Structure 1
Amino acid sequence: MPNITQLASKIDKVKVYAAGATVSRIADLHLENGETPEQIEISGLPLALDDSSVRVQVEGNANPVIPTDIRISLAVSSSQEPPNFPAEEQLHQAKAEVRRIQETIALIDNEISVLKQLHVPNQPEAEPGKAPPPSPLAARLAIANFQDEQIRSRIQERREIQNSLQEANTHLDELLHKQKLASTAQQVKPHELRKTVIISLSYPAEVTVSQQRLIVEYFVPGARWTPTYLCRLESSTNTAAIAVRAFLCQRTGEDWSGVRLELSTANPMTWCELPELPSLRLGRTQPVPRKSGWRLPPVGAT
């Protein structure tokens, strides 16, 4: 049974084409005296990668290890580490808090509208031929003071709750932003398959303690980029500046956060014929031999 050692890898560089991308993963291979694994396994690779595009290279200072064979297989992914972004429960609570504050503000606005519709009765009119009745001035002033006081208190309360709503919206936006930027990797379910690369290694005659780096490169679809152009005109100097930008999208199921990106306009899967190079002779110039005009007579010409 061969000695298979699993190595943890991370994406170091991605080269994006008009359709698809080439991903380079790196893994640290630490060799010690007496510990020489025969095979190395890199797991957790996307299921859609092109098997024929897998390339392996080992970089080391002295006596580098030589990969001799590559085998692609399927395996059930192990449990992943918990993602480093807010849980759904936190987002649900933040959204519920925003809705609660918005409903409270709507209720206060409704109360202010009802208080503004509160009508203070006018002074009673006198009947013809009779003295005017006494005016309930105290009651009218009490109603007007009550209306004004309640409206002012509602406006003050609404102002304070509006500040709370702003803080709740800011907290919700921060959670959403953290969730968006934390990871673009697709969380693998326990029953889902992923591809794994098993690499056979050949060691030099003398293996010393060394730290070498294993590079695995493969092509995966599900990514693309498109250019866009931006032109800025300066009327004061009659000049124009043109900038080129790129829009990039990917659904490979891997996390590309913090990796080096390269853009290419080439087609990575196009077949190219190698050119035939003419031979060159080095030395003294030789005369071109003349072709003889004599030919053998045809058979049966006697």
Structure 2
Amino acid sequence: MTAETAQRWGSALDAVVVYAQGALCRRLARGSVPPDGRVRVTGLPRSLDPGSLRARVTGARAARVVEARVEVEAEPLDDAGSNALRREVERLREEWTAAQGRRDRQLGLIEEVGALRPVPPARRREDPHRRTPVDAWLGLAEFVDERLTRLHARLVELEEALERAEHAFLLASDRLDRASTDAPPAQVRTTVSAVLTFDVSSGPTTAAEAETGTGTEAEAGAEVEAGAEVEVEVEVEYTVPGAVWAPAYRLGRRPGDGGGRLVLRASVAQRTGEDWTGVRIALATADLRRRTDLPRLRSMRIGRRQPSPAPSGWREPPTGLADLFAGYDGADTRTDPARAAAPGGSMAVGQGRPVAAGAPTGYGAPPSVPLPGSAYPEAFGGGSADLAAPPRSRPGPGGGARERTGGMPPAAPAAMASAPSGRAAAPPPPAPAAPGSAAPKRAAPAAGPPQPSGAELDYPALVLSGPDDQGARRGRLFPDAPHDPVAAEYRRRAEAVTALPLPGHAVPPRVSAGSFDHRFDAVARADIPSDGAWHTVTVGEIPVGLRTEYLCVPSVEQTVYGTLVLSHSTDQALLAGPVEVVVGDEFLLNAALPTLAPGGVCRVGLGPAEGIRVTRRTTVHESTSGLRNSTTVLDHRVHVELANRLAGQVTVEVRERVPVTSDADVRIEERADWSVPHDDADAEHHAPGARVWRVDLPAGGVTALDGGYEIRIPSAKALAGGNRRS
């Protein structure tokens, strides 16, 4: 049973977690596992990351997934497919081009007719002067004028037709650009599938369950007959690029109510190549591609040079690895002359450089040789990983070391083609040096154990080369994965959604989240097409405390502003983003909500309050005091009047400021009942010298606030002729 004949299961997208960039998708598929255990789950997008594919059984415990890989199929599309919009765009493009051609030809005719001029015959020297035929000139001018009139009238019609064709083409192109990328973009449909291999076992799946006998009826020892089909539900998980989101809010409040409703919404845009229809949406601020490898700190040694220990993940290549592919090579000897020249398949002929099968090649390999074409290597115990990677250099046949560059072994001489299997051929004699030329210097062999690079020891990223990879790559692990240019182009188009301009007052989640990561789960399923445009999704409702306060800074502007003091008491942070403020059933304004930690308090401005009036007057009196008038006294008086013309009681916060000095000889004495505002980690920070009055005004009430301060400056500290009153 091959992958092409494997049983096909349809899948449905169930849940999506949108990260700061990218998304984690989860599909569900259900069916009966065939006797061979090979199943193809269809419906995956083309832009998925093949290395992120995961699969697990969610229902029955008698089956488990032992292998999962991504395969792509291609098939031509029929005329009745989903390319109607694309064909419409092509048709309108042709009509626009044809209309433009007709307009250009009409312009050419107008230019030709307008260039008509009477040309008199050439006059010879002995010919007498002739009279000008005025009638002919006038007849030609009348003909040109009449012809140009008809041509210009036709030109106006063609230009109008061209404008209509261009307008229709631009509208269709815009619809195509905004259309979902879930439809195939070409005449060939590519189907991405996850080929899963199941292992159907019998009885409990773990040793603990076997000892305790716990579990359901299927887990308690119910035997699965050989060849019987098992009904399972499998969950396929993968990551895709091309998805972004930004938080948004809607704040509603009823007049006279002390609380409010803060609805958390999200602006989500995705161009992953599949429409998210009826999926459970979750939003996370984490980076989907952040590094997870731990830093390594190497020791510093003083004294004699000591060799570095060999990496524990490297192993010698197994002996006779090339003999594993002898049957594979022998099957193609009649069609491949190069393979027929190899004696018994004991040579690994690679890219014109034959290498003896038993000779050390400088590439690591697992001690147990994997089957050719296997997608995943065997797992080995012993405390250290046995998945070997190709080292930088290793000892050669003569005890020296051979350097390798570019991920391939050095070229072997042609004489090695006749060497017996399992032994390295003797190197050819060196070529004689040319007369007068210096003898080439032989590079010193690198001593010590092999030193694989970090990429060669990154086991999850290593790829096992199959039998089609000729040479020393067959059956060995390499860090260079095959590059799929088509999939890379799909991912590049998907990642273009990250360049979308953010909505007003929106902040990227990674910027507003800071050093912490948060996740928000939507309460209902949502539909988000793959069109690369912003779509609003309601996440949930957050209870908040609200109270209305009025704020004024009369020294800067004699206007009172209304504010909403929002207190957040849940255990989930609120990210920065735009908020729509609604009072009752009337929309008030759009504002920006800052990042709010659990238990934090912030202010949201509502604009000027025309029903509250404020007036500020100041006076300054200068005098001297002290012995021999050695101290200058600047007495500042502040008078603030407030008048409430609203229908209810209001709380007004009046902010003033006093000067701040860093000189111990200059003293500032305050004479007012204001207070010093307290800086809170979650609230706003106040400048040094800020002072606050908090006044409760009833409806129609008027109050006056008086304050002031004295500045005492010694005469030696005073600036002669300076402005000391401001």
TM-score relative to the length of structure 1: 0.52
Which of structures 1 and 2 has the larger relative contact order (alpha carbons within 8 angstroms, sep 6+)? 1
Q: Judging changes above 3 Å, is the alpha-carbon distance between structure 1 residues 259 and 68 closer, same or farther for their aligned structure 2 residues? A: same
Larger Rg: 2
Which residue in the other structure is 2:144 paired with?
Answer: 147
Q: Is the 8 A contact 1:21 1:221 kept in 2?
A: yes
> Which residue identity does 2:65 align to in structure 1?
I
Instruction: Tell me the distance in 2 between the aligned counterparts of 1:43 and 1:144.
Output: 75
Instruction: Tell me the distance in 2 between the aligned counterparts of 1:179 and 1:9.
Output: 27
Q: Judging changes above 3 Å, is the alpha-carbon distance between structure 1 residues 191 and 169 closer, same or farther for their aligned structure 2 residues? A: closer
Instruction: Tell me the distance in 2 between the aligned counterparts of 1:110 and 1:119.
Output: 17
Question: Could you report, residue by residue, the CA deviation over 1:18-73 in whole angstroms, capped at 9, with x for unpaired residues?
Answer: 133121324465xxxxx77565541464452524x545545xxxxxx557412343
Paired residues for 1:1-302 under 5 Å: 5-27=7-29, 29=31, 41-43=40-42, 45=44, 46-51=48-53, 53-57=54-58, 68-74=63-69, 76-80=71-75, 82=77, 84-86=82-84, 94-116=92-114, 136-137=134-135, 139-140=137-138, 142-170=139-167, 172-173=169-170, 176=173, 179-180=176-177, 181=179, 183-184=181-182, 195-198=194-197, 214=233, 216-227=235-246, 246=267, 248-250=269-271, 254-256=273-275, 258=277, 260=279, 262=281, 264-267=283-286
Q: Is the 8 A contact 2:247 2:266 kept in 1?
A: yes
Secondary structure at the counterpart of residue 77 of structure 1: strand
Instruction: Tell me the distance in 1 between the aligned counterparts of 2:26 and 2:11.
Output: 10
Instruction: Tell me the distance in 2 between the aligned counterparts of 1:245 and 1:148.
Output: 66
Q: Is the 8 A contact 1:85 1:178 kept in 2?
A: no
Question: Could you report, residue by residue, the CA deviation over 1:64-102 in whole angstroms, capped at 9, with x for unpaired residues?
Answer: x55741234336434446262159887666544433321
> Which residue identity does 1:196 align to in structure 2?
V
Q: Is the 8 A contact 1:14 1:262 kept in 2?
A: yes
> Which residue identity does 1:99 align to in structure 2?
T
RMSD: 5.0
Structure 1 residue 135, shift from structure 2 partner: 7.4
Q: Which has the higher helix share?
A: 1
Q: Judging changes above 3 Å, is the alpha-carbon distance between structure 1 residues 134 and 153 closer, same or farther for their aligned structure 2 residues? A: closer
Secondary structure at the counterpart of residue 98 of structure 2: helix
Q: Is the 8 A contact 1:12 1:259 kept in 2?
A: yes
Structure 1 residue 8, shift from structure 2 partner: 1.5
Unmatched 5+ stretches in structure 1: 30-34, 59-64, 122-132, 206-211, 230-242, 272-302
Secondary structure at the counterpart of residue 235 of structure 2: strand
Instruction: Tell me the distance in 1 between the aligned counterparts of 2:144 and 2:268.
Output: 58
TM-score relative to the length of structure 2: 0.25
Instruction: Tell me the distance in 2 between the aligned counterparts of 1:74 and 1:198.
Output: 9
Unmatched 5+ stretches in structure 2: 120-130, 202-216, 223-230, 249-263, 293-726
Instruction: Tell me the distance in 2 between the aligned counterparts of 1:28 and 1:57.
Output: 10
Q: Judging changes above 3 Å, is the alpha-carbon distance between structure 1 residues 150 and 93 closer, same or farther for their aligned structure 2 residues? A: same
Q: Judging changes above 3 Å, is the alpha-carbon distance between structure 1 residues 20 and 72 closer, same or farther for their aligned structure 2 residues? A: farther
Q: Judging changes above 3 Å, is the alpha-carbon distance between structure 1 residues 25 and 80 closer, same or farther for their aligned structure 2 residues? A: farther
Instruction: Tell me the distance in 2 between the aligned counterparts of 1:247 and 1:24.
Output: 18
> Which residue identity does 2:25 align to in structure 1?
V
Instruction: Tell me the distance in 2 between the aligned counterparts of 1:86 and 1:93.
Output: 10
Q: Judging changes above 3 Å, is the alpha-carbon distance between structure 1 residues 36 and 55 closer, same or farther for their aligned structure 2 residues? A: closer
Number of residues paired by the alignment?
Answer: 226
> Which residue identity does 2:82 align to in structure 1?
N
Structure 1 residue 264, shift from structure 2 partner: 1.6
Instruction: Tell me the distance in 1 between the aligned counterparts of 2:277 and 2:170.
Output: 22
Q: Is the 8 A contact 1:84 1:182 kept in 2?
A: no
Instruction: Tell me the distance in 2 between the aligned counterparts of 1:170 and 1:187.
Output: 23
Secondary structure at the counterpart of residue 267 of structure 1: coil
